[in-house]
Structure formats: C-alpha cells, structure tokens
Structure 1
C-alpha cells in the first residue's frame, strides 16, 4: 500500500515529462527521477520488514465483568533495528460498548515491549469471542505501508461484575469501604471467633498480626476472624418480562449506555452475596418467572459462593409474567428456618402489585422479607419536567399516577411488616449491601 508521500513525489514525474516537451534536456532527468523513485520504493518495502518482527499478545481478565469498563491490553514487542510506527486494530465482540476504540497507534522502540490499552463495556452476560489482530506498519522512508492479519481469535466469558468484588476486597483491607459507598461495615478480621492464619499483606492493620506465628515462621503472619453470628439469607430474583426492559445510564465521563434491569440486579446480587459470605452467613438463591427456574439452598463458604456465581452467570430473562405466589410458596416450603428473604423485582402493574401485597406479608413472622425494586428513571424525568404542551401535561399526569401507585404499594407493604427498598439502578448495589449490613447489625434477620 502506497503512502501519500509517495503519491506526491510520483506526481513530479509526469510534470517533468510535460516540461520536457519544451526543454528536451529535462526528459533524461525525469527518467532517472522515475527509476530512482521506483528503486527507493523497493528499498522502503524491503526494509519495512515482515510481520515476524512483531510479537503481539492480548491480555485481559479471564472473566470480563458486566456493565463496567474492562481493560484490554495489547503487548507488542519489536525485533527490528529501528523505530517503527504502527496502527493496530483489534476485533472485540461488536456488542461491547467501546469496540470502536480498538484502533490504536504507536511508535515501537526496538527490543522493547509497548503496551496499548483500550476499554470495553459488555452489556450482557454470556459467551463471546475476540477476533484477529490487524497491524499496519510503515517503511523507513514512509513510501510504503505493509499490512498483516495475526490470528488471535479467542473465546471470552462475561460474568456479573467481578470488579466490585476486587474493589471491595482492596478497600476492606485498607479499612476504606466508605469510599465505595458502604457504611457501618466491620472489617474482616475484627470478629471474635478465630478462623485462620495467613501471610501478612501491606494493607493489613497491625492489630491483626499474630506475633508468635510471625516469630515462629520468620515472616509476618496475620489472623482472620469469623463474624460473630451466622444468619441465613435467601435471595429471590424475578427474571420475568418486565425485568428485560433496558435502563439508560449516563456516566459522569459523558458515556451513555443501556442495560437490562435483570443485569443490574445480577450485579447487585453478586456483591451482596459475596459480602454476606464474608460475614459468615448462609446464602441461597432462587430464580423465578412464571415458574421456579433454579434454586440453590443456603450454605456458607467460598466454594458455595462460586456455585452462586456460576448460577448467576447462566441466568436468562423470560418473556412471561412473574408468578410471585408460586415462587414465594416454593421458597416457604424449601426454607423452613428463619431467613432474611430479599426479593428483587419490578413493579409492573396492578395485578403484580396485588400479588406482591398478598404473598410478601405471608413470609412473616417466620422470615424477614425485604422487597427491592428498581425505580424507573423515565417516570422520574417526566414528573420533573415543566410541561409546555398538552401532550407533555398528559405524560406527566400518567407518570405521577404510576409513581403514586408505586408509593402506595410500598407503603402498604411496609405497614404489613415487609421492608422495602426502591432505588435507581446505578445506586442499587451499594443500597442493597448497606441495608443488609444495617439489618445484620440490628440482628433483625
């Protein structure tokens, strides 16, 4: 592939020939110029080198996280004796937000490794695949561009948001969970029942160092403690028709994207169940639509959390109405011991509201029910606007009516002893975890 520089220089050749019609002595100069240009082009192509001079690998997490930015790193090593300008294009799955940013440019330095980074945001869980890498590089004279495709296709799985778990672990070790939006969280290691010894990490507070074990093993050793009281947490997730509807999120950095309500819920359930597992609680999961789709009995421990993770990875929403009565009756039969029962759903009409109002209070007094619903941002926007036309007045009136019906249902449930949490999707995860920690601290469950 020829460059703009080569084409510009090539245009001088016919210009010289044309000038030679008036000045014949210029014709041999033009011929020499043309032959020299062709010779330089051949040399430039030759010394551009082959694709073997590059070593390229793609790096990313084994499991990408749903709904957040995931870093994709391209590591490129150059074995040529000179710097080489390149353009490289990756082929992330087209359904990822940010796939268009996978065209990167750099100037490679000989015998060094360069890292080029772009980010993608998956909006749906499942199996995906990266494609091949295409690289272009320039010859030393910038006359010729070479291009090659490097086989690099590889499968990748998108799981619920694992980034939040890593962030939680990091901030918990630093005792900085308030920076994540969590409140009244007891740091792991501050319980009363000794659990295990482990190697010290730089973020550990000094008070959990076991000095005797440190002296015995000749390296710093920290202690972990079990939380003071184990409880049962039963999570029920509605995957019916209304949970398929997308919610638009506007990031502070200016990006906007849509993700299904059920995926916001799955991300929230992941961190919620992880925190509950660290607190020593037994966590169970029930997935339902018009039928009970899956059920995992409450258990404690990290191995059980991995089962929860795989179960949440495979959840799919269904184009049917949710049957709360069938799901909650099934839960009542399967879970006889007192539990905190957290139901994630969407208030989708009068029939669903009546069903929730009928069946949620029946969990009492054996269980403590908590209903978690996602607020509809469209309704909030409609009620906040000042209407200027009759159509806008009508739309605002409908939005206010729906919000009033929603508020009335939540108030009726609260009067009957059912706890409620109605929150915007982008704040759902932290709000759920905070409510759980408050209930655990008050020992209501």
Structure 2
C-alpha cells in the first residue's frame, strides 16, 4: 500500500507532463522520473521485508470473566535489523465491549519484543472465538506500507466473573477484604478453625499469638479462629422472561455498557457460593423458569464448587414467566434439611408479586428464606426526574407506581418473616455476601 509520501512524489509526474506542453524536453524527463520512482518503490517494498520477520502470539486467561475487563496481550517479536513502525489489529469476538481498543501502534527497535495490551469486557457467557492478528509496518524510506495476516484464531470461553474470586483470595491473604466492600463480620469465640491474622490486643490469650508472623512484622500478631459450623445454603436463580432485560451501566471513568439481569445475578452467585464454600458450608443450586431446569443438591468442598461453576457457565435464560410455586415445591421435596434459601429474581407486575408473597413464607419455619431483588437504576432515575412534557409525566408516574408496589411487597414479606435484600445490579455481589456473613455470624441459618 502506498503512503502519502509516495503519492506526493508521484504528483511530480503529471506536473512535469503538464509543463511539457510548454517545454517538450520535460516529457522524456517525466518518463525517466516515473521509471525511477517505480524502481525506488520496488526496492523500498522489498526492503520492508516480509511477514516472516515477525513472530506473533496472543495471550489471555483460558477462561475470560463476564462483565470484567480481561487483559489481552499480543506479543510481537521483530527479527528485522532496522526500526519498524508497527500497527497491530487484533480480532476479538464482536459481542465483546472494548474491541475498538484492539487497534494499537508502537515503534519497535531492531530485534525487539513488544507486548501490545488491550482489554475487552464480555457481556454474555458462552463459547466465542478470536480471529487472526493483522500487522502493518513501514518500509525503510516510508514510501510503502506492507501488511500481513497471522493465523491466531482460537476458541475462548466466557465464565462468570472469576476475577472477583482471585481478588477475594488476594485480599483475604492480606486481611484487606474491606477494599472489596466486605464488612468485617466474624464469628468470634473459642473455635478451632483458623480464619485470619490480626493485630494483638491486650485481652488476647498468649496461645493465640502467631510467633512466626510476629517475627516477620516485628509486632505482636494474633490468630483469629471461628467455630466449625457447616450450614446448608440453597441458591435459587430465576432465569425467566424478566431476567432477560438489560441493565445499563455507565462507569464514571469508563464506557457505558448493557448486560442482562441474569448475568449480574450469576456473577453474584459465583462469589457468594465461593465464600460459602470457604466457610465450610454445603451449597446447592436450583435454576428455574416455568419449570425447574437444574437442581444440584447441597454439598461442600472445592470439587463441588467447580460443579456449580460449570452449571452457571451453561445457564441460559428463557422467554417465559417464572413459576415460583413449582420451583419452591421442588426445592422442598428435594431438600428436607434446614437451609438458608436465597432466591434471586426481579419483582415486576402484580402477578409475580402475588406469587412471591404467597410462596416465600411457605418456606418458614423449616428454612430461612432470603429474597434478593434487582433494582434497576433507570427506574429510580425516571422517578426522580422533573418532567417537562406530558410523556415525561406519564413515565414518572409509572416509575413511581412500580417502585411503590415493589416496596409494599418487600414490607409485606418482611412482616411474614422473610428476609429481603433490594439492591442495584452493580452492588449486588458485595451486598449478598455481606448479608450471608451477617446471617452466619448470628447463627440464623
């Protein structure tokens, strides 16, 4: 491909031909100039080198995380013996937000290896495929640009947000879980299960001092224990019609994007079930729409968590109304022992509200029910606006009515003994985990 520089040189040819109408001697000069320019272009094209002078590899996690920024690295090694101005265009899956960032530029020194890094945000779970990597590089004289396409196509899987689990593990080791928004709820007492390290206080018994940690930090460090109490947690996820609707998220310092409610729920369920597994609890999963799609009985341990993870990866929503009665009847028949039953759903419409008000209290007193509902920020925003037209007045009236119906339902359930948590999609994960830790600390489940 010709560059603007070569086109500028080529414009000399018609200028000489035009001048040749007055000075005929310039016409042969134009011909000689054209031949010389073609030869120069050919030599410059050859001097740019072929695609074989580069080595290209794409690196990323084997499992990408839903709704998180996933780092993608395109590593290019130049074997050219001259500096190269290189442009890289990767081909991430089209449904990923942030694919525009896959166009990158860099100047590579001779024999240099450079990492071209960008991030993508998958907005739906499932199987996807990266395409090839395209390169463009300059010639020594800058007259032409050559390009090559490197075969790098390959599959990739998008799972629920595994980044949150890695972040939790890292901050837990540092005793800095507050940075994730998790409250310091602890089960204090004479337990035998190690929980964490903390600063020594004068009322701590000497046998709780961790002498190795004390030596490393040059100050007294105590060990925190918690009672070994295994509880049962059953997570029920509504994947019916209302859970398919998108939530609009606008990050303060980033782009805006949309993701289905059910995918926000799956991200929350992932970390929730992971934390519960770490606490030694038995975790089960029930997925339903108009019928029960999946039921995994409560079990404990890392292997069982992997089973839950695979089930959440394959979970799909359906364009049908959720049947709460059938789902909770199945749960009651399959799970006889007392459990904390956490139901994730969206409350919209009188029919769904009445069904929830009828079936959720039926779990009492055998189980402890917790209803988690997703609050759409667009609804709150619409209700808080000052309308400037009749259409705006109507939208605000409808939004206020829906919010009122939602509040009355939650208050009714609370009076009947059902725990409730109404939270926005962006804050759902930490809110659910915090409520679980609070219930576990109070031994309510």
Q: TM-score, normalised by structure 2?
A: 0.91
- Of 159-168 and 7-16, the range deviating more from structure 2: 7-16
Contact 2:348–2:402 (CA under 8 A) maintained in structure 1? no
- State whether residues 241 and 320 of structure 1, in contact with CA within 8 Å, keep that contact through their aligned partners in structure 2: yes
Give the CA deviation at 1:206.
Answer: 10
Number of the residue aligned with 1:269: 269
TM-aligned CA distance change 1:206 to 1:354, over 3 Å: closer
Structure 1 residues 390 and 27 mapped into 2: Cα distance closer, same or farther (>3 Å)? closer
Q: Structure 1 residues 209, 59: CA separation in 2 closer, same or farther (over 3 Å shift)?
A: farther
Distance, in Å, in 1 between the alignment partners of 2:137 and 2:199 is 53
Secondary structure of 1:421's counterpart equals strand
Asked whether the equivalents of residues 227 and 279 of structure 1 are also in contact (C-alpha less than 8 Å), the reply is: no
> Is contact 1:360-1:369 (8 Å) kept?
yes
Partner SS, residue 298 of structure 1: strand
* Alpha-carbon separation, structure 2, partners of 1:372 and 1:428: 9
Tell me how far 1:289 sits from its aligned partner. Answer: 0.8
Q: How far apart, CA to CA, are the structure 1 residues paired with 2:128 and 2:226?
A: 39
> Is 1:193 aligned to 2:192, yes or no?
yes
Gap change, CA 1:256 and 1:139, over 3 Å in 2: same
Rate the CA distance shift 1:191–1:98 in 2: closer, same or farther, 3 A.
farther
Q: For the structure 1 residues 205 and 132, does the alpha-carbon distance in structure 2 shift closer, same or farther, using more than 3 Å as the test?
A: farther
Q: Which residue of 1 aligns with 2:216?
A: none
2:341 is the counterpart of 1:341: yes
C-alpha distance 26-271 of structure 1, shift in aligned 2 (>3 A):
same
Quickly say closer, same or farther: Cα 1:417–1:206, change in 2 above 3 A: closer
| Match of residue 219 from structure 1 | none
Shift of 1:377: 2.0
The 3 A distance-change label for structure 1 pair 227 and 70 is farther
1:243·1:346 contact (CA, 8 Å) conserved in 2?
yes
Where 2:76 maps in the other structure, the secondary structure is strand
Query: Can you list the C-alpha shifts for 1:235-262, whole angstroms capped at 9, x where unaligned?
Result: 0000011111111111112411111110
User: Residues 261 and 191 (structure 1 numbering): CA distance in 2 closer, same or farther, change over 3 Å?
Assistant: farther
- Provide the rounded CA distance (Å) in 2 between the counterparts of 1:82 and 1:206: 58
Q: Cα RMSD (Å) of the superposition?
A: 2.4
CA distance in 2, matches of 1:358, 1:415: 13
| SS of corresponding position for 2:106 | strand
Equivalence for 2:78: 78
Output the CA distance in 2 between the equivalents of 1:280 and 1:338: 16
> How far off is 1:34 after superposition?
2.7
1:350 partnered with 2:337 = no
Post-superposition CA distance 1:386-427 (Å, at most 9, x none):
123232222222211111111111001001100000001111
Q: Is the 8 A contact 2:185 2:441 kept in 1?
A: no
| Residue aligning to 1:199 | none
Q: Which moved more, 1:29-38 or 1:264-273?
A: 29-38
Equivalent residue number for residue 215 of structure 1: none
CA distance in 2, matches of 1:305, 1:204: 26
Task: After TM superposition, give the deviation of residue 300 of structure 1 in Å.
Answer: 0.9
Cα distance in 1, alignment partners of residues 186 and 252 from structure 2: 30
> Per-residue deviation at 1:42?
1.3
1:323 aligns with 2:332: no
TM-score, normalization by structure 1: 0.91
List per-residue Cα deviations over 1:79-118 (Å, max 9, x = no partner).
Answer: 0100111212111111111122211111122222101111
Q: Which secondary structure does the structure 2 equivalent of 1:183 belong to?
A: coil
Q: Which whole-Å CA distance do the structure 2 matches of 1:115 and 1:345 have between them?
A: 43
Report matched runs for 1:19-418 at 5 Å: 19-27=19-27, 29-186=29-186, 192-193=191-192, 228-418=228-418
How many residues are paired up?
428
C-alpha distance in 1 between matches for 2:7 and 2:333: 79
Distance 1:245 1:51, change over 3 A: same
How far is the alpha carbon of 1:381 from its aligned partner?
1.3
Structure 1 residues 117 and 227: CA distance shift in structure 2, 3 A: farther
CA contact under 8 A between 1:288 and 1:294: conserved in structure 2?
A: yes
Structure 1 gaps, min length 5? 197-202, 213-222
Report how far residue 31 of structure 1 moved. Answer: 4.0
* More moved, 28-37 vs 99-108: 28-37
Alpha-carbon distance, 1:204 to partner:
8.3
1:373 shift after superposition = 0.2
| 3-state SS, counterpart of residue 338 of structure 1 | coil
* Aligned counterparts of 1:170 and 1:119: Cα–Cα separation in 2: 21
Output the CA distance in 1 between the equivalents of 2:426 and 2:147.
43
Tell me if structure 2 keeps the 8 A contact 1:55–1:78: yes
Distance change >3 Å, CA 191–CA 206, structure 1 → 2: same
Secondary structure, counterpart of 1:82 in structure 2: coil
Contact 2:344 2:371 in 1 (8 A): yes
* Alpha-carbon separation, structure 2, partners of 1:56 and 1:206: 49
Tell me how far apart the structure 2 counterparts of residues 367 and 167 of structure 1 sit (CA, whole Å).
32
Q: Which range moved further: 309-318 or 90-99?
A: 90-99
Map of 2:444 onto structure 1: 444
Residue aligned with 1:318, SS: coil
Which residue number in structure 1 is paired with residue 205 of structure 2? none
